[in-house]
Amino acid sequence: MLSLLRIAVRNVLRHRRRSLITFSAVFLALAIMVGIRGFMNGMQSGMRDSIVKGQTGQLQIHRRGYLKNVAKSSLEMDLPASDEFIQKVTTVPGVTHAAARIQFGGMLNARDSTTVALFTAIDPEQELQVCPLRLDQISSGKPLLHAPVQAGNLSPELAASLGAKLGDKTTLLTNDRDGVLNALEVEVVGTVGARGVPLPDKKVGLVTLSLAQELLRMQGRATEIVVSIRDGERLHEMQRRIQTAIGSDYEVATWLEIVPWLEDAFATQDFGFNLLVGIFLFVALLGVVNTMLMAVYERTREIGTMMSVGVRRRQILALFLLEAAILGLAGGVLGAAAGCACVAYLSHAGVTLKMGGAAMPLTLHPFIQPGYVVFVLLLATAGATLAALWPSLRASRLRPVEALSSL
């Protein structure tokens, strides 16, 4: 067996040009597979972070039924934002922070034009503990942190529809929790836009929690509590633990439940990607079939000679399969290495992309899971071996006498 391997290696090295073709096909396929996967990993992770660390947080607490409610931002379904309630959440082991928010709709007025918009009221300091990427989403001006209470950040679309500029005083009019109209002045201190992911609602704004509580006459109340946890892998376990701690009047939802479309979109992306690289690999392996078949034709006399000196048909078969496997593995290892190098470089340098519909560009850092590299290596080697099966079988079935006499 070992001598067979030695002969196989020698054969591969002997037929340089042919080996190079097979090698290149596998090399390219693997480099591209690993490279694109790494890029997609970076993009998906960047988008996920942009949403989870920039908007939803890891877990959210609402009054039971709030998320299913037709009128999504119903203020009647509120919950206490008291220290006592927040402490009930933060004392659950594994919870790092909790921050109160109010989601509400309102009419923003500037220069006698009014636009309906959706607002999120945040406690600027607490919010950064649960959504650290909020600061990263400021596209112009300042965040709400250290800003006066009557300050707001608007999405570029909202600001544009009102013709509002930084420093403008706008008026936010809405119905309070009881339905009575109320209005407060909001100074536009900055504009915000999610990175990479287009917002589901274009006309949105951020205001301070204190302002919203006064506007909506909801002192000490909130519509949601956003919770961050130490270990993101234990999302569902933490969901259950917090649920137990706060009781059944409230419900805890993971970000997966709050933005279910995100992982669905990624799954669709992955399916498309797998299909594409599958076709790519298939074409590369067809190249392997072709070169191996050529090898068998070229080396018919050599096979005849081997058979006539007593080499078994099984061994001939094994020899050709081994040659293909060596080429597959070598091309695979080097291809994957090239792909990994490319991913590592891009990860270090960062790739900045502006995706359609998104307000701001997203800088992503590609990465690759070792498991994926091992998987594609095995796939390439096994694929190359399998592709060589038919040519190798042909070789092993040659009749020695005819093979010797062939040209």
Residue ranges in contact with other proteins by CB under 8 A: 70-71, 74, 76, 107, 109, 112-114, 171, 173, 175-176, 178-185, 217
CB of 109 to other proteins, least distance (A): 5
CB of 70 to other proteins, least distance (A): 6
The amino acid at residue 281 is: L
CB of 219 to other proteins, least distance (A): 13
Asked if 297 and 398 count as a contact pair (C-beta separation under 8 A), the reply is no
Count Cβ atoms within 10 A of the Cβ of residue 120 and give its class: 0-12 exposed, 13-18 middle, 19 or more buried: buried
Closer residue to other proteins in complex, CB, 77/166: 77
CB of 221 to other proteins, least distance (A): 15
| Cα–Cα distance for residue pair 40/367, rounded to 1 Å | 9
Asked if 224 and 63 count as a contact pair (C-beta separation under 8 A), the reply is no
Closer residue to other proteins in complex, CB, 162/346: 162
Among 332, 327, 337, 325, smallest CA distance to 382 is for 325
Asked if 189 and 144 count as a contact pair (C-beta separation under 8 A), the reply is yes
DSSP symbol at 121: E
Closer residue to other proteins in complex, CB, 42/205: 205
Closer residue to other proteins in complex, CB, 71/309: 71
| Cα–Cα distance for residue pair 401/287, rounded to 1 Å | 30
Asked if 391 and 285 count as a contact pair (C-beta separation under 8 A), the reply is no
CB of 170 to other proteins, least distance (A): 10
Closer residue to other proteins in complex, CB, 105/156: 105
Among 371, 288, 372, 376, smallest CA distance to 332 is for 376
| Cα–Cα distance for residue pair 122/100, rounded to 1 Å | 7
Closer residue to other proteins in complex, CB, 129/171: 171
Closer residue to other proteins in complex, CB, 49/176: 176
CB neighbours of 402 closer than 8 A, spacing ≥ 6? 304
CB of 251 to other proteins, least distance (A): 17
| Cα–Cα distance for residue pair 95/186, rounded to 1 Å | 33
Q: What are phi and psi of 107, to 5 degrees?
A: -115, 120
CB of 173 to other proteins, least distance (A): 5
Closer residue to other proteins in complex, CB, 55/109: 109
Grouping H, G, I as helix, E, B as strand and the rest as coil, residue 321 is: helix
Q: Is the dihedral of CA 166, 169, 174, 178 positive or negative?
A: positive
Closer residue to other proteins in complex, CB, 113/308: 113
CB of 75 to other proteins, least distance (A): 10
Instruction: Provide the 10 A C-beta neighbour count for residue 330.
Output: 19
249: which 2 tokens?
Answer: 């009047």
CB of 115 to other proteins, least distance (A): 10
